[in-house]
Structures are given as structure tokens and as C-alpha cells.
């Protein structure tokens, strides 16, 4: 197709766990491949972290190459779980922008973070990289000031392809 065509991504339901104490931080938590925000919101609600608001979105349902094109919830399309393979940059940018949008309405005095498990962790690390660079891969400005990123069993998509020119 032409370079100007854009896929529309329809994200699933977002689950929110409100802080039980004084709201000091908000973390968007991203599930793994084939999962949803609901299961993680139940786990996060049980943690003894009373000052954190958790936002648990659900990824779009899309055909996933690693499953032979079978549709499931995924933050981006993936053919192989590895930093050695080029990733679906359009899907990564769309998911990172969705996360930034979820954080954009938080009060200015609240610390903002992103975390995730597996593919969600990869998306969180990609978002954090966009924050450091100041923009998404498509060139659009990354609008959120992140204070934290958490990655459980994750990887940095496209890490071996020189897509990131980090200012060290």
C-alpha cells in the first residue's frame, strides 16, 4: 500500500484502580499478548501501594503474525519475540500515543509512569525511549514527562536496528 495509508487501532476497555490513600503517582500498566487490562487491574488492586492510581488499558484485537495471523489483543504486531527483528513501528507508535493520551489528563503534581508485562513491557520501554528522544518514530512529539518505567519480562523493540539515537 501507499505510505500515507494508516491503520485504525480500536483499543479495548480501560480499567482504573483508584488510589486508597493520597494520590501521588499514576502508572499505566500494559498487559501481555492475548491478555486484557481487567486481569491486571485485579492483581494491582491487591498490592500494598495506596498512593498509586493504576490505569490498565486493553490492547486492540488485531491479526498477529506469530500466531499465523490469528487475531488477539496485541499492542503491536509481532512475528518473533526478539530485539533482533524489525517491529511494527506503526503499531508501537499508536500504542505509545494511546498510553500518553491516558496520562495526559492527570493532575500536574502527579508523577507519571508506564509499566507492563511481556509485550506490554516492550511497549512501556518503547514509550520510555520516545520520552527520552522527545518524539515517536513517526516524528510526532512525545507529550508526557515520565518519571518511571517498569518492565517485567520485556524487551526493547528494534533495539538492534539502530532506530534509537539516544543522547548519552
Predicted TM-score (pTM) of this structure: 0.89
Grid cell 512529539 — which residue? 141
CA-closest candidate to residue 54, choices 119, 112, 121, 124: 112
CA quadruple 26, 48, 12, 31: dihedral, nearest 10: 100
Cell representation of residue 162: 539502530
Confidence bin at 24 (pLDDT 50/70/90): very high
Burial annotation 5-39 (CB, 10 A radius, 16+ → b, else e): eeeebebeeebebebeeebebbbbbbbbbebbbee
Report whether pLDDT(31) > 50: yes
DSSP classification of residue 124 = H
Classify domain 15-159 by CATH number. 3.40.50.1820
User: Residue 110: what pLDDT?
Assistant: 98
User: Residue 160: what pLDDT?
Assistant: 67
Q: Could you tell me which residues are beta bridge partners of residue 156? A: none
User: Residue 2: what pLDDT?
Assistant: 38
Long-range CB contacts (< 8 A, 24+ apart) of 63-69?
Answer: 64/33, 66/33
Report whether pLDDT(132) > 50: yes
Instruction: Give the start-to-end residue ranges of the domains of the chain.
Output: 15-159
Average per-residue pLDDT for the chain: 90
CB atoms within 10 A of CB 110: 17
Q: Give residue-wise pLDDT tens across range 33-81.
A: 999 999 999 999 999 999 999 999 999 999 999 999 999 999 999 887 6
Report whether pLDDT(97) > 70: yes
Confidence bin at 151 (pLDDT 50/70/90): very high
Confidence bin at 86 (pLDDT 50/70/90): low
Amino acid at each position: 500500500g501507499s505510505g500515507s495509508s494508516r491503520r485504525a487501532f480500536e483499543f479495548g476497555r480501560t480499567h482504573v484502580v483508584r488510589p486508597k490513600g493520597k494520590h501521588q503517582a499514576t502508572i499505566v500498566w500494559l498487559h501481555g499478548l492475548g491478555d486484557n487490562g481487567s486481569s491486571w487491574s485485579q492483581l494491582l488492586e491487591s498490592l500494598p501501594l495506596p498512593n498509586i492510581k493504576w490505569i490498565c488499558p486493553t490492547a486492540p484485537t488485531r491479526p498477529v503474525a506469530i500466531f499465523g495471523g490469528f487475531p488477539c489483543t496485541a499492542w503491536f504486531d509481532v512475528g518473533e519475540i526478539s530485539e533482533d527483528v524489525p517491529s511494527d513501528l506503526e503499531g508501537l507508535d499508536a500504542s505509545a500515543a494511546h498510553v500518553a493520551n491516558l496520562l495526559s489528563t492527570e493532575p500536574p503534581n502527579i508523577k507519571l509512569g508506564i509499566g507492563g508485562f511481556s509485550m506490554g513491557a516492550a511497549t512501556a520501554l518503547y514509550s520510555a525511549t520516545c520520552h527520552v528522544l522527545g518524539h515517536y518514530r513517526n516524528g510526532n512529539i512525545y507529550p508526557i514527562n515520565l518519571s518511571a518505567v517498569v518492565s517485567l519480562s520485556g524487551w526493547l523493540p528494534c533495539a538492534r536496528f539502530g532506530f534509537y539515537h539516544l543522547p548519552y
